[in-house]
Amino acid sequence: MSLVDERGTTPGRGLRERARELAALQERVRGGPGERATAAQKARGKLTVRERLDLLFDPGSFMEVEGLRRHRASGFGLEDNRPYTDGVVTGWGLVHGRTVFAYAHDFRIFGGSLGEAHAAKIHKLMDLAEAAGAPIVGLCDGAGARIQEGVTALAGYGGIFQRNVRVSGVIPQISVILGPCAGGAAYSPALTDFTFMVADMARMYVTGPDVVAAVTGESVTHEALGGAKVHAELSGVASFTHDDEESCLEDVRYLLSMLPANNRQTPPATDSADPEHRRVDRLLDLVPPDPRGSYDIREVIEEIVDDGEYLEVHAEWAGNIVCALTRLGGHVTGIVANQPLAMAGVLDIDASEKAARFVQMCDAFNIPLVTLVDVPGFLPGVAQEHGGVIRHGAKLLYAYCNATVPRVQVILRKAYGGAYIVMDSRSIGTDLSLAWPTNEIAVMGAEGAANVIFRRDIAAADDPERVRRERIRQYREDLMGPYHAAERGLVDDVIDPAETRLRLIAALRMLRSKHAALPSRKHGNQPQ
């Protein structure tokens, strides 16, 4: 009679023997379900779960927990199929030397679907990440609720959502979509801070193409319904997209290097070789003085920040506003900037939502905000009004007004109407407002303003065009001059554009010790 049990351990043997048996068992666990399943994963063009974790973490630093966990479910043949890990690898490791937690679905096991044990592992890891105060990354490649386990699988998702919300704004949460992410499973990424998707591989939808066809009669492919491109450009669900898993996980590491471990810390600072007092004379030529002239705000950002490096969030969605994480003088800073290259840089529904979420994230994780303003106003139109631009625009206002991190506004050129106020103006609490000598701050552009307030004058004139031009000039000189706002204290200083970098670094250094508190309350009632 053999004394070897199903795990390959032999009761009654010495510790050395046991250690050898353990090593063999761990090897089996790490190896996964077998060559056929691995070949199928590769045939789908995907890395295995272990290869992904190797790319995410510093070499040799990953510590797995609950690799030996197995489900206790029965029925549908489950009792004869109890693979180790239960389809999700959980643990922690180092990313650039700092602790990060991760869970990673193993599609080779039950299609990475989530059953009771699988969910319990993720719950435990999320609790551990909260206790340790360190970021958590989910590598998602699973078929959703494990159909054979029924309601316990559904409850497992509920436990994840509840924890996603509990640690929101406490520890950074990152979702990386590397396969299917269907049904309610898609809501966990939506509750996290950032979602990465890999093209031709990642899919996110609440109901897949078959259900869509059955319910609405629409015929649509997986990719067209919930692929990376759709979520990057149309829905705004994806914060970042990549062509392959390697570059995606490299950028996850880069993003983590700019985030604090938790909301009690500030992001790690680095020693920058880029001189703090570097003048940026190119800025004097880059931005056309004519308020209607176009330019790429990304070039302005590149000139100002350390080594021209920044990480743009939602780069392909709502291009009329740019949100980016970067460093100034070695300190992580969030940049929000109007983009004159797209829709002349107007604010609309999507731009407001994008920037509001970014401002909120920066505030939660102690990242100072720099707002670069060149905005003609909010986008007029029936579609915008009926789409709720009022409540969506209010989200951006709400986010800025609530932000207690250091805030610096720089007005590069025009800043008109409500959009001027919303873009972190003095009146909603920016700490410092700087303006270039090209600034034009007004209720609206001079042409529009003159047409309204001098309408009768113009209509009654012998030469209406000459009078119109005269009134436009008059309005511009009297109310929109570069020193008008400074004289009234709504701009703290008018600066030489070439000194923007050094002035920002000095301002953020001064504000590093800022402490601001909001009135005590359960929570605000944010516009939705």
**From 261, 344, 419, 486, the catalytic residue:** 419
Which residues does residue 271 pair with via DSSP β-bridges, in sequence order? none
Q: What does the block give as tokens for 70?
A: 């197995």
Please report whether residue 268 would count as binding ligand HXC according to CB under 6 A.
no
CA-wise closest residue to 105 among 190, 21, 177, 40: 177
Please report whether residue 154 would count as binding ligand HXC according to CB under 6 A.
yes
Please report whether residue 111 would count as binding ligand HXC according to CB under 6 A.
yes
Cβ neighbours, 10 Å, residue 19: 10
DSSP 247-262: HHHHHHHHHHHTS-SS
Nearest CB to ligand HXC, comparing residues 184 and 268: 184
Interaction with ligand HXC in 289-308: which residues (CB under 6 A)? none
Q: With contacts defined by CB under 6 A, name the span among 21-29, 140-148, 399-407, 410-418 that binds ligand HXC.
A: 140-148
Cα–Cα distance for residue pair 444/211, rounded to 1 Å? 48
Question: Shortest approach of ligand HXC to residue 255 CB, angstroms?
Answer: 27
Q: What is the 3-state secondary structure (H, E, C) of 312-354?
A: EECCCCCCCEEEEEEEECCEEEEEEEECCCCHHHCECHHHHHH
Which residues does residue 434 pair with via DSSP β-bridges, in sequence order? 410, 493
Question: Shortest approach of ligand HXC to residue 448 CB, angstroms?
Answer: 49
DSSP 371-433: EEEEE--BPPSHHHHHTTHHHHHHHHHHHHHH--S-EEEEEEEEEEHHHHHHTT-GGGT-SEE
Which residues does residue 337 pair with via DSSP β-bridges, in sequence order? 322, 372
Question: Shortest approach of ligand HXC to residue 200 CB, angstroms?
Answer: 13
Please report whether residue 87 would count as binding ligand HXC according to CB under 6 A.
no
Instruction: Kindly tell me which residue out of 48, 113, 175, 239 binds ligand HXC, with binding defined by CB under 6 A.
Output: 113
Annotated catalytic residue 32: no
Question: Shortest approach of ligand HXC to residue 170 CB, angstroms?
Answer: 22
**From 418, 429, 448, 481, the catalytic residue:** 418
Question: Shortest approach of ligand HXC to residue 6 CB, angstroms?
Answer: 21
Please report whether residue 505 would count as binding ligand HXC according to CB under 6 A.
no
Please report whether residue 446 would count as binding ligand HXC according to CB under 6 A.
no
Question: Shortest approach of ligand HXC to residue 113 CB, angstroms?
Answer: 4
Cα–Cα distance for residue pair 88/180, rounded to 1 Å? 14
Question: Shortest approach of ligand HXC to residue 85 CB, angstroms?
Answer: 15
Question: Shortest approach of ligand HXC to residue 223 CB, angstroms?
Answer: 12
Interaction with ligand HXC in 177-216: which residues (CB under 6 A)? 180, 182-185, 208
**From 133, 184, 236, 330, the catalytic residue:** 184
Nearest CB to ligand HXC, comparing residues 144 and 406: 144
Instruction: Kindly tell me which residue out of 146, 314, 468, 501 binds ligand HXC, with binding defined by CB under 6 A.
Output: 146
| Helix (H) or strand (E) run with residue 194 in it | strand 194-198
Please report whether residue 125 would count as binding ligand HXC according to CB under 6 A.
no
Please report whether residue 110 would count as binding ligand HXC according to CB under 6 A.
yes
Question: Shortest approach of ligand HXC to residue 445 CB, angstroms?
Answer: 49
Please report whether residue 390 would count as binding ligand HXC according to CB under 6 A.
no
Please report whether residue 33 would count as binding ligand HXC according to CB under 6 A.
no
Instruction: Kindly tell me which residue out of 92, 101, 103, 157 binds ligand HXC, with binding defined by CB under 6 A.
Output: 157
Please report whether residue 144 would count as binding ligand HXC according to CB under 6 A.
yes
Please report whether residue 159 would count as binding ligand HXC according to CB under 6 A.
no
Please report whether residue 32 would count as binding ligand HXC according to CB under 6 A.
no
Nearest CB to ligand HXC, comparing residues 140 and 480: 140
Cα–Cα distance for residue pair 410/374, rounded to 1 Å? 9
DSSP 470-526: HHHHHHHHHHS-TTHHHHTTSSSEE--GGGHHHHHHHHHHHGGG----PPP-S----
DSSP three-state, residue 101? strand
Please report whether residue 71 would count as binding ligand HXC according to CB under 6 A.
no
Please report whether residue 445 would count as binding ligand HXC according to CB under 6 A.
no
CB 428 within 8 A of CB 404: no
Fill in the per-residue mask, 161 to 180: x = in contact with ligand HXC (CB under 6 A), - = not in contact. Answer: -------------------x
* CB environment 56-87: b (16+ within 10 A), e (fewer): bbeeebbebbbbebebebeeeebeeeebbbbb
Annotated catalytic residue 429: no
Cα–Cα distance for residue pair 300/26, rounded to 1 Å? 52
Nearest CB to ligand HXC, comparing residues 184 and 418: 184
Cα–Cα distance for residue pair 175/71, rounded to 1 Å? 25
C-alpha count within 13 angstroms, C-beta hemisphere, residue 187: 16
Annotated catalytic residue 8: no
Annotated catalytic residue 77: no
C-alpha count within 13 angstroms, C-beta hemisphere, residue 339: 24
Interaction with ligand HXC in 233-252: which residues (CB under 6 A)? none
* Binding site residues, ligand HXC, CB under 6 A: 110-111, 113, 143-148, 154, 157, 180, 182-185, 208
By annotation, the residues acting in catalysis are 183-184, 418-419
